Amino acid sequence: MSKIITIHSFRRGVGKTSLISNLAVLLALQGRRVALTDRDLQSPSIHLFFNLSDGEDAHALNDYLWNKCDILSTVQDVTPQIAENPTGKLFVIPASNNLADIMQITDTPPNIDRYVGGLEKLGKELSLDMILVDASAGLNEDTLQAIAVSNVVVLVLHPDQQDFQGTAVAVDTIRKLQVPVIHLVLNDIPDNLNEEDLHVQLEKTYQCGRGIILDHTEELMTLASAQPFVLSYPEHPLTARIKELAEQL
């Protein structure tokens, strides 16, 4: 079975989608066979990083979850976008940005068995090493179910009291769900904070190791989710930090 790595955060807008897209690219460039799944059905956005539009024949994860198609027909191979002939592969399973599809989540939450069945089929048919999942923020039941079937959770937070407190609740919950590994990522750090102090604070507060710290990076903001940062800035210190995390996965 391929490893399921889910990215989550207590609050929205902390950099989950940017980070998971970049991790997926780096892992595929390192030779892994990777699927990147947009499970944030309420704020779908992975399609933007890979320029995928809602075509007539294109299916989204929503179509699979609500029994309209097979999981394999939602898969888009974006490997040619990341390198000419990489040894790895990157497949994207986008979510729909159609209003009716987004509204449907509130009426009929997705079925967890169908979701897990889809991931298993993807893993087997595409011979995947890992499935990266962009989950929605907050601790609603749907997200908790997606987290519970993960082997690893990457938890992203901002240096903000609201995040520090909310993340404590999230770590506690994820531990209760018996997810074996949690990685913490403190993102969007301003220059004036001391990194070593932050590592110590993370370790002491959550007991999930020292965590990864990512600086506030204007170049990333300027890209405005139009493409993965690590492809545009392969030599940037932020890319090196994201690689450190990729190596731990």
Ligand X SMILES: Nc1ncnc2c1ncn2[C@@H]1O[C@H](COP(=O)(O)OP(=O)(O)O)[C@@H](O)[C@H]1O
Size of site (CB under 5 A) for Mg ion: 3
> How would you class 50 by CB atoms within 10 Å of its CB: exposed for 0-12, middle for 13-18, buried for 19 or more?
buried
The partner in contact with residue 225, picked from ligand X, Mg ion, none with C-beta cut-offs of 5 to 8 angstroms by kind, is ligand X
Q: Which is nearer to ligand X, 12 or 68 (CB)?
A: 12
When the beta carbons of 92 and 126 are compared against Mg ion, the nearer one is 92
**Of ligand X, Mg ion, none, which one sits near residue 14, judging by CB under 5 to 8 A according to partner kind?**
ligand X
DSSP codes of every residue in 127-155: T-SEEEEEPPSS--HHHHHHHHT-SEEEE
Q: How far is the CB of 189 from ligand X (least distance, A)?
A: 8
Q: How far is the first Cα of the chain from the last one, in angstroms, to the nearest whole number?
A: 15
Per CB under 5 A, contacts with Mg ion among 38-97 are 45
Alpha helices (runs of H) in the chain, residue ranges in sequence order: 16-29, 46-49, 61-65, 79-82, 99-107, 112-125, 141-148, 161-176, 195-206, 218-223, 229-232, 237-248
Q: Which residue number, 125 or 160, has a Cβ lying nearer to ligand X? A: 160
CB 36 to ligand X: min, Å = 13
Q: How far is the CB of 97 from ligand X (least distance, A)?
A: 14
For residue 208, the SS3 value is coil
Give me the residue label for tokens 């959770």: 153
Report the side by side order of strands in the sheet with 152-157.
76-77, 89-93, 33-38, 130-134, 3-8, 152-157, 181-189, 212-215
Q: Which of 6, 9, 17, 217 binds Mg ion (CB under 5 A)?
A: 17
Q: Which is nearer to Mg ion, 18 or 145 (CB)?
A: 18
Q: Which does 12 bind (CB under 5 to 8 A by kind): ligand X, Mg ion, none?
A: ligand X
In the bound complex, what is the minimum distance in angstroms from residue 212's beta carbon to ligand X?
11
**Please, are residues 199 and 210 in contact by the beta-carbon 8 Å criterion?**
yes
79 binds, among ligand X, Mg ion, none (CB under 5 to 8 A by kind): none
Nearest approach, Cβ of 18 to ligand X (angstroms)? Answer: 3
Which residues contribute to the site for Mg ion (CB under 5 A)? 16-17, 45
